[in-house]
Amino acid sequence: MTPPKGPRDKAASLSILRRLRPFVAAHATLLAVAALTLPFLAGAQLVAPYLLRLAIDRYITPAAAGQAGALDGLWTLIAILLAVLVAEVALRFAQLYLMQIAGQRIMHDLRMAVFGHVQKLSMSYFDRHPIGQVMTRVTSDVETLNELMSQGLVAMVRDVVTLLGIVVVMTWIDWRLTLASFVVFPFLAVILGFLRVRLRSTYDRSRTFVAKMNAFLQESITGMGVVQAFDEQERNVIEFTGHRDNLLKIDLRGVRLSSFLSASVQSATTVSTALVLAYGGFGVIGGTVTIGILVQFMEYLARFYRPLEDLSDKYDALQRAAAASNKIFTLLDEEPAIRAADDLRAMPDFEDAIRFEGVTFAYDEGDAPVLSDLDLTLRRGEKVALVGSTGAGKSSIVKVMQRLYDHQQGRVTIDGVDTRDLDPRALRRFFGTVPQDVFLFTDSIAANIALDEEAVSRETMAQAADLVEATDFIGTLPGGYDARLGERGANLSFGERQLLAFARALASQPQVLILDEATSSVDSETEARIQRALHNLVADRTALIIAHRLSTIREVDRIVVLHHGEIREQGSHRELMALDGIYACLYRLQYQQDGGNIGAA
Amino acid sequence: MLALVLTNALAMAIPRVFGAAVDAFTQGADRRRVITFALVIVAIAAAQALFRVISRIVVLGTSRRVEYDLKGMLHDKLVQLAPSFYEAFSTGDLMSRMTNDVMLVRALGGPGILYFTNAMLVYILGTGFMVSLSWQLTIVVLAPLPLMAWMVRGTVHQVRAFALSSREALSDLNTVVQENLAGVGVVRSFALEEAQVRRFEERSKAYLDWGLKESRARAKMIPMIGLAGGLSYAAVLALGGPMAAAGAVSIGDLVAFVGYIGMMIFPTVALGWILSLLQRGTAALERLDKVLQAPITIESNPDAVPLRALRQGITVSDYTFRYHDALDAYTHLQDGEVAHERPPALRAISLQVDASSFVALVGRVGSGKSTLLKSLLRLVEVPPGAIAIDGTDINEYDVATVRRSVAYVPQDDFLFSDTVAANIRFGAPDADHAAVVAAAILAGIDLSSEGLAKGLDTNVGERGANLSGGQRQRVALARALLRDAPILVLDNALSNVDTDTERRILAGLAEQRSGRTVIAASNRITAVQDADRIYVFDGGEIADSGTHDELAARPGLYASMREQQQLSARLEELP
Ligand SMILES: Nc1ncnc2c1ncn2[C@@H]1O[C@H](COP(=O)(O)OP(=O)(O)OP(=O)(O)O)[C@@H](O)[C@H]1O
Ligand SMILES: Nc1ncnc2c1ncn2[C@@H]1O[C@H](COP(=O)(O)OP(=O)(O)OP(=O)(O)O)[C@@H](O)[C@H]1O
Ligand SMILES: [Mg+2]
Ligand SMILES: [Mg+2]
């Protein structure tokens, strides 16, 4: 990875600021109020040295010179100084707090924006991006920005205002002295420019490594069972150490760079002090400068450098935040592969049929198609079984039908309306799916069955659970329907999880029920009972059933045999048996093997 | 550390030089002296810059190393913790601890220590320099400090409490994100996006609220400290002014004093910030400690013996298992979730697996098959006396050798997001290509017609999401077969594979078994009918056992399961 070029990098920083603007603008009032305190704070910073100068030049020096009553004014001066300090403290509290509120609210908005955007991204995005990485964007990267927002940005504005104020006042007092103190600045600017590019690319890589490490970590944690079953903990540790090494190396580089940054700022300030002293010293000798002015000047310089040094730290934070926001905005710029059409058509009533017309589909544009030129009709009220060898494309048909992926050629229609003209979310609600891989949320059983708790009543939910024979085991759980599940349903057996997923599909009361290996982990006894229970319920429902165990599909109207993404056979059980093709072969295998007992073992 | 001391000592010397310069000017000095003063300051600056770089690199570098080590320690612990631990702590929560909390500890260890040491040094050195100028003034300057400490104390505790709550809220937030991404298929397919956003918003708001509370407490602290600094400033003028006028101190000294206070105010303000860093850091450490302190419930005894081969067999006797027994160990670490009473997953199970035999487990949903299989690998906490391998209790063996003796295909066919080949090689990293291909073929992966875009080099995606259900299961099977272990444990390993492929795989396995012991749970009669012995599970107990023919002949669960799977065949024969 080469460090990005200067101008482009600058443009990137600017565009990040521009991108952040809407988020900041939403809290403009708060920020404005906080900003109001800035001139006062900066003013307070300026007043103290001025008072000091007055004290020395007007009271202390004359008093030392023996003028009577010279000290009287000093007390008033100190009273004013104290008042200024108290005001400063009060303002600073107000400012800090307001800025914190604004900063954290902005972060909240940004989190919402990122998470909301992630919800729009299609499945294909997640095929390519590991969870741990996306997670890093939503929380960790936003958190990094937070540091800058709630501490840095605020202080930075204050520092800049203070700096400007000091420069103005200093120039006003003695522009030659001011010039003397700024001689070193061009050098400093060159050094800063040099370091900035490097810092930025270093932090960029650091964020990338962090995301990679987190992706690895999240995968290790979820797969720890497998890691331990295979006794591969050691290798897991070695791999993680590799990730840690990468990150440490780049982070140490960042530390070195930022140390140079801070050291160069500090040396520059000290050199300026020396310059002012020398130049001012000549002035004092020549009688053009009073000691009071010189002292005041030095005080200003000290106050000038403190925020400057502070800024160099902030600058560092800024580069880090820029790297993080770069990642965030890259995610926000990700176009969802599947978007609602501009002129949406209303969801059809489904009087007729769902049709695949010459559909060709591949997960990756360039790859060999998973479905090729596929024609398939699912009429209203019909129960169709989809069989075929593993990897034939059965689950892919389901995904395309729900428009979880977009097909490349052909049309999928409902009552003649292209599914691409429908609102994808309405389209998906039209189906109720038991997916091949079950996913349960860390939530109650009830919430897992009735995913949309507003649309599904408690009775419907319980009824669905009853239909799939899940009430028995739910009854043994403390709290019954309110029992909380572990992550992904970890505290249930596999079959139990599948039953819940089945109940979930039924509870959503869809127009079309899709069962993708819905009972593959369920024993046939339970399965048969579910089938009997469902018999009446789905009598007039449309259903698409995918199963390898042919006993699962014995009551369908039509069987479609899929092979390598193409439909090979289609018809009733009897017709297909008569055809003596793939289906008949599969069928005989199951039947024969059971009766005939192929001698193994 | 030395570098840090030197940097600060040098920085502190500057006001001194400056004060001397001012005094020199008041007494009238020539240009030579002016130049000398300036040069002294420049020399100091150069040295200071050098030391500053060194000290920062050392301290901040150390904080990065602390992070590095801390993550290493946590991960080392995580790989040792039993699966039951992962039921008490969710992935999102653990991720939050490993990232966000570690970050806070790093901030404490790096900038925290840096600024703290800096502040302390400035105090000590500053006080030293000041005392050397005038001890009366010094006392005045330092007087407000105890006042400040007293004011800040209460706030500090508040910050700590809020910081802890805010950390927990962040963990919750992380968990929502993690779940949402892990379940993206369900979220999209059931169009749950809006509900998920609401859920996220709730957590994000909670996090925001705690964060704001924390900030308010922190904001309170900083002006308190600032006020103390301001008071010092005023006090010096009030006292020092007349003293200088009276000639008790020189104007130069007074100027130097003001310079020192200026130098000390900033570290003092920073101290407030450091205190809050400290509070956040300790809150984070507390959370990390929960993981580091978690008991390791499954490990080898100190005098464990290795398991080399299976000679006689595995005996399970009177084995009763409850999941929540193990969870109790963690409940005190995690508030909220309490392990709850449920009927035992296994009730007084006894069975025998002879070496080199094929034993099958069938039974209803949730009847305890997987629990028993996991016990054979000690993936759950097996009580002593329940399982014996070759006559020795399973807990007496070295865990690693037990797991290496068993090739396991879990019911949850978890794959890592890597290539097919890498996944197959997972349990045998040194296996050569030919062995990988052989295992793949044995597992029924037909590389020529499988539809894997890049064959063995196809990336399987997270959890194997880019493969079909059956492909995933067969990769998991190949992964186990490549281990070449004496015991093969299959937990519903072919439930998503079509019958044709299943038959090929089973035939292949039978051919290559060569003395391996096979223990398989399955819902398909076709997969178990050849077993030497079939155990029928029901509600955590063994309802029946025997060979296929014996079981099929008597009425019972097995016979009726077989009946169901044959029903269509019968229907066919009727007309
Ligand atoms: N997300 C994905 N990205 C890329 N390729 C995929 C993805 N999902 C599936 N595939 C590939 O598409 C093909 C068809 O997969 P599909 O899941 O539709 O098969 P299936 O018929 O459901 O098989 P099974 O019976 O094993 O579930 C397979 O070759 C698979 O590797
Ligand atoms: N981690 C766990 N914590 C608590 N209870 C559990 C856990 N895992 C399983 N159980 C419960 O223990 C019982 C046995 O589960 P097990 O997974 O052994 O069943 P199984 O026979 O494999 O079922 P299936 O055929 O559905 O896979 C079930 O009632 C299940 O709910
Ligand atoms: Mg499938
Ligand atoms: Mg199981």
DSSP assigned state of B334: S
- How many residues comprise chain A? 601
Residue B407, φ and ψ in degrees, nearest 5 = -95, 120
CB of A77 within 8 Å of a chain B CB? The answer is: yes
Does the structural domain B2-292 have CATH classification 3.30.230.10? Answer: no
The verdict on a CB contact (< 8 Å) between B242 and A77 is no
The verdict on a CB contact (< 8 Å) between A225 and B205 is no
Residue A25, burial from CB neighbour count under 10 angstroms (0-12, 13-18, 19+): exposed
Ligand 1 contact via B385 beta carbon (within 6 Å): no
pLDDT band at A153 (very low <50, low <70, confident <90, very high): low
Higher pLDDT, B265 or B231: B231
CA distance B310 to chain A (A): 18
pLDDT at residue B571, as a whole number: 45
| pLDDT at A308 > cutoff 80 | no
Look at residue A287 and give its three-state secondary structure: coil
Per the CB < 8 A criterion, the answer to whether A388 and A553 are in contact is no
Per the CB < 8 A criterion, the answer to whether A336 and A403 are in contact is no
Q: What is the pLDDT of residues A81-113, one digit of tens each?
A: 778 877 877 887 787 788 788 888 888 898 999
User: Which residue minimizes the CA distance to atom 5 of ligand 1?
Assistant: B466
CA distance A281 to chain B (A): 6
Mean pLDDT in residue range A67-77: 71
Per the CB < 8 A criterion, the answer to whether A441 and B185 are in contact is no
Closest by Cα among B65, B159, B500 to A563: B500
Cross-strand pairs, A566: A563
DSSP assigned state of B351: E
Dihedral, CA atoms, B245, B248, B250, B254, nearest 10 degrees? Answer: -80
Closest by Cα among B190, B56, B170 to B117: B56
Higher pLDDT, A387 or B39: A387
- How many residues comprise chain B? 575
Per the CB < 8 A criterion, the answer to whether A112 and A142 are in contact is no
pTM: 0.83
CB of B558 within 8 Å of a chain A CB? The answer is: no
User: Which residue minimizes the CA distance to atom 6 of ligand 2?
Assistant: A491
Instruction: Spell out the residues 6+ positions from residue A238 whose beta carbon is closer than 8 angstroms to its own.
Output: none
CA distance B181 to chain A (A): 6
DSSP assigned state of A349: -
- Neighbour count for residue A68 (Cβ, 10 Å): 8
Does residue A529 come out as left (phi exceeding 0), alpha (psi in the -120 to 50 range) or beta? alpha
Q: Where, residue-wise, is CATH 1.20.1560.10 in chain A?
A: 18-332
Closest by Cα among A412, A518, A390, A440 to B185: A440
Average pLDDT, chain A: 81
Measured between alpha carbons, how far is A220 from A145 in angstroms, rounded to an integer? Answer: 27
DSSP assigned state of B348: E
Scanning A479-579, the segments in alpha helix (DSSP H) are 494-507, 524-537, 573-579
Instruction: Spell out the residues 6+ positions from residue A465 whose beta carbon is closer than 8 angstroms to its own.
Output: A445, A449, A471, A474, A481, A500, A503
| pLDDT at B404 > cutoff 50 | yes
The verdict on a CB contact (< 8 Å) between A523 and B238 is no
Pocket of ligand 2 (CB under 6 A): A 473, 490-496, 521; B 87, 323, 345, 363, 365-371, 411, 537
Count of pairs with CB atoms under 8 A, one residue in A, one in B: 561
Q: Using an 8 Å CB-CB cutoff, list chain A residues near B95.
A: 132, 135, 214, 217-218, 221
Measured between alpha carbons, how far is B122 from B262 in angstroms, rounded to an integer? Answer: 11
CA distance B391 to chain A (A): 22
pLDDT at residue B266, as a whole number: 64
Strands A371-379, A353-361: parallel, antiparallel or unpaired by DSSP? antiparallel
The verdict on a CB contact (< 8 Å) between B96 and A86 is no
Largest CA distance in chain A: 127
Measured between alpha carbons, how far is A505 from A432 in angstroms, rounded to an integer? Answer: 5
Per the CB < 8 A criterion, the answer to whether A292 and A53 are in contact is yes
Could you tell me the two tokens for B20? 């001397």
Q: Where, residue-wise, is CATH 3.40.50.300 in chain A?
A: 345-430+511-522+541-595, 437-509
Interface test with A, best of B188, B413, B454, B474 (most A CBs within 10 A): B188
Higher pLDDT, A431 or B566: A431
Q: Measured in angstroms, how far is the CA atom of residue A563 from the centroid of ligand 3? A: 13
CA distances from A187 to A33, A328, B40 (A): 37, 34, 21
Ligand 2 atom index nearest CA of B368:
18
Q: What is the pLDDT of residues B5-35, one digit of tens each?
A: 777 677 667 667 777 777 776 676 677 777 7
| pLDDT at B297 > cutoff 50 | yes
Measured between alpha carbons, how far is A41 from A51 in angstroms, rounded to an integer? Answer: 16
pLDDT band at B164 (very low <50, low <70, confident <90, very high): confident
CB of A164 within 8 Å of a chain B CB? The answer is: no
Measured between alpha carbons, how far is A594 from B527 in angstroms, rounded to an integer? Answer: 9
% of chain B residues with pLDDT over 90: 22
Q: Of the bound ligands, which one is closest to the alpha carbon of residue A125? A: 1
DSSP assigned state of B365: T
Look at residue A16 and give its three-state secondary structure: helix
Residue type, A282: F
pLDDT at residue B143, as a whole number: 76
CA distances from B468 to A397, A402, B54, B194, B472 (A): 12, 17, 56, 29, 6
Q: Using an 8 Å CB-CB cutoff, list chain B residues near A225.
A: 83, 86, 379, 410, 412, 414
Q: What is the DSSP string of B307-329?
A: ----SSEEEEEEEEE-HHHHHHH
Does residue B485 come out as left (phi exceeding 0), alpha (psi in the -120 to 50 range) or beta? beta
Question: Which of the residue ranges A561-565, B120-124, B524-528 would you say has the lowest mean pLDDT?
Answer: B120-124
pLDDT at residue B29, as a whole number: 63
Positive or negative CA dihedral for A454, A459, A460, A463? Answer: positive
Q: What is the DSSP string of A409-445?
A: EEEEEETTEEGGGB-HHHHHHHEEEE-SS----SSBH
Mean pLDDT in residue range A127-141: 84
Q: What is the pLDDT of residues A160-186, one digit of tens each?
A: 777 787 778 778 877 777 777 777 778
Measured between alpha carbons, how far is B58 from B105 in angstroms, rounded to an integer? Answer: 17
pLDDT at residue A6, as a whole number: 40
pLDDT band at A596 (very low <50, low <70, confident <90, very high): very low
pLDDT at residue A493, as a whole number: 92
Measured between alpha carbons, how far is B233 from B240 in angstroms, rounded to an integer? Answer: 10
CB of A531 within 8 Å of a chain B CB? The answer is: no
Mean pLDDT in residue range B412-431: 89
Per the CB < 8 A criterion, the answer to whether B291 and B74 are in contact is yes
Residue-wise burial string across B324-349, b where 16 or more C-beta atoms lie within 10 A, e elsewhere = bbbbebbeebbeebebeeeebbbbeb
| pLDDT at A451 > cutoff 80 | yes
Q: Measured in angstroms, how far is the CA atom of residue B118 from the centroid of ligand 2? A: 58
Q: What is the pLDDT of residues B435-489, one digit of tens each?
A: 999 999 988 888 776 777 788 888 888 888 889 888 999 999 999 999 888 999 9
Residue-wise burial string across A146-166, b where 16 or more C-beta atoms lie within 10 A, e elsewhere = bbbbbbbbbbbbbbebbbebb
- Does the ipTM surpass 0.85? no
User: Which residue minimizes the CA distance to atom 3 of ligand 2?
Assistant: A491
Ligand 1 contact via A122 beta carbon (within 6 Å): no
Measured between alpha carbons, how far is A501 from A437 in angstroms, rounded to an integer? Answer: 9
| pLDDT at A369 > cutoff 80 | yes
Average pLDDT, chain B: 83
pLDDT at residue A13, as a whole number: 57
- The minimal CB distance from A222 to the residues B91, B100, B465 is found for B91
Q: Measured in angstroms, how far is the CA atom of residue B466 from the centroid of ligand 1? A: 7
Per the CB < 8 A criterion, the answer to whether B524 and B491 are in contact is no
Measured between alpha carbons, how far is A365 from A363 in angstroms, rounded to an integer? Answer: 6
Question: Which of the residue ranges B131-135, B430-434, B472-476 would you say has the lowest mean pLDDT?
Answer: B131-135
Measured between alpha carbons, how far is A150 from A316 in angstroms, rounded to an integer? Answer: 15
Could you tell me the two tokens for A514? 């899709």
Ligand 1 atom index nearest CA of A399:
18
Could you tell me the two tokens for A469? 């024979």
Per the CB < 8 A criterion, the answer to whether B565 and A549 are in contact is yes
Q: What is the pLDDT of residues A232-273, one digit of tens each?
A: 888 889 999 999 999 999 989 988 888 888 778 777 777 777
CA distances from B547 to B138, B416, B533 (A): 95, 37, 5
Query: To which residue do tokens 């969801």 refer?
Result: A347
CA distance A112 to chain B (A): 7
Does the structural domain A18-332 have CATH classification 1.20.1560.10? Answer: yes
Residue B64, φ and ψ in degrees, nearest 5 = -65, -40
Ligand 1 contact via A391 beta carbon (within 6 Å): yes
CATH class of the domain comprising A345-430+511-522+541-595: alpha beta
Contacts by residues A29-34 (CB-CB < 8 Å, ≥ 24 positions apart)? A30/A98, A30/A101, A30/A102, A30/A105, A31/A98, A31/A99, A31/A102, A33/A98, A34/A94, A34/A95, A34/A98, A34/A99, A34/A102, A34/A154
The verdict on a CB contact (< 8 Å) between B215 and A150 is yes
| pLDDT at A146 > cutoff 80 | no
pLDDT at residue A501, as a whole number: 92
Residue A510, φ and ψ in degrees, nearest 5 = -80, 165
Could you tell me the two tokens for A155? 């202080």
Determine the Cα angle at B79 with ends B77 and B81, to 5°: 70
Query: Residue ranges of the domains in chain B?
Result: 2-292
pLDDT at residue B574, as a whole number: 38
Instruction: Spell out the residues 6+ positions from residue B502 whose beta carbon is closer than 8 angstroms to its own.
Output: A548, B444, B494, B524, B526, B527
Does the structural domain A437-509 have CATH classification 3.40.50.300? Answer: yes
Closest by Cα among A217, A237, A242 to B73: A237
